[in-house]
Structure 1
Amino acid sequence: MNTQGEAPDLLDLYLREARIRLGPAGFEAVVRAAEATCVLLAGGQPATLAGPDDDGFGPRLQREYLALLAVLITGRTDHHVVPLATPGGTPGWAVVEDHLLKDPAALHDVCTGIVARARSSARTAAALERMWDAG
């Protein structure tokens, strides 16, 4: 937090703009989801980057959540949230740096790699679940 007379820092400015974009309820949902994720990460726990499992935390808030996490993790606001082509039409995004937007081939390669790793992880998780259930 800033002392009186001090200019607002990057996070303060970002949060003020997010509050305007999202409104009070959306802003609170995004901040609470980001806080919960940060607590898990700080405790060394794995964290699934996801918000509440209800219709009120739709794609718009999910994108804002990822953008906020990027600001919290990097301390910068020069990132971009780009859509991923995911199976079944489930919304998916990647947070990328500005230079990737200027190189469509590199952006495509990064996004394709992210989706491939997610599919592989999902298959592994499903196989482990089946082994656990059978065990």
Structure 2
Amino acid sequence: MNDNDHADETPQERIAKVALYLESVKARMPAEEFETLQQAVHEMAHLLADGREGILDAGDRENFTDDVQKEFLTVMAIVTTGRMDHQVVDMPGPDGSPGYVVVTQELANDPEELAKLREKIHHNAIERKAIDTELDGIARASGIDTDN
């Protein structure tokens, strides 16, 4: 099955895949963490259904552990692509901060391509930080409060 085979799936088919995946996660994840994951998925579903962007409350919770974050990324990948064969890969930021990417199995098993992806992500993060710093300086010079 290629990437385009999932394009015609109905939302109900993707929801069924997510439900199946969540059942497998529930069997292997501590109850508190699973509850946090379920809440994050619920919030994401509402944002998508309303066609809105937003920030999930679950990110502030004590139980939004690395494992919950990885499972949440997997669920997001299933919802957006319809595929269940993604892999979450550790991809620390340029400063060493933890981070993850969701990639295909093929990419996950290709160290050279992962290294290229890491380099691209780091380049973009460094560039974004430089832009943010410049914009912050402009805002401060203009007397705009940037502490919000």
1:83 positional shift:
0.8
* Distance in 2 of aligned mates of 1:129 and 1:36: 31
In structure 1, the partner of 2:12 is: none
Alignment of 1:1-135 (within 5 A): 9-41=16-48, 43-45=51-53, 47=54, 51-133=58-140, 134-135=143-144
Q: How many residues align?
A: 127
Aligned AA (1:31): Q
- Who wins on radius of gyration, i.e. which is larger? 2
Return the TM-score normalized by structure 2.
Answer: 0.69
Paired residues of 1:50 and 1:62 also in contact (CA < 8 A): no
- Cα distance 1:75–1:94, how it changes in 2: closer, same or farther (>3 A)? same
Q: Which runs of 5+ in 2 are unaligned?
A: 1-15
* Structure 1 runs of 4+ with >6 Å offset: none
Partner SS, residue 89 of structure 1? coil
- Cα distance 1:56–1:11, how it changes in 2: closer, same or farther (>3 A)? closer
Deviations 1:83-118 (A, max 9, x none): 113233321011000111232211211222123223
Q: Identity of paired residues, percent? A: 29
Partner SS, residue 100 of structure 1? helix
Q: Which runs of 5+ in 1 are unaligned?
A: 1-8
Greater relative contact order structure (CA < 8 Å, 6+ sep): 2
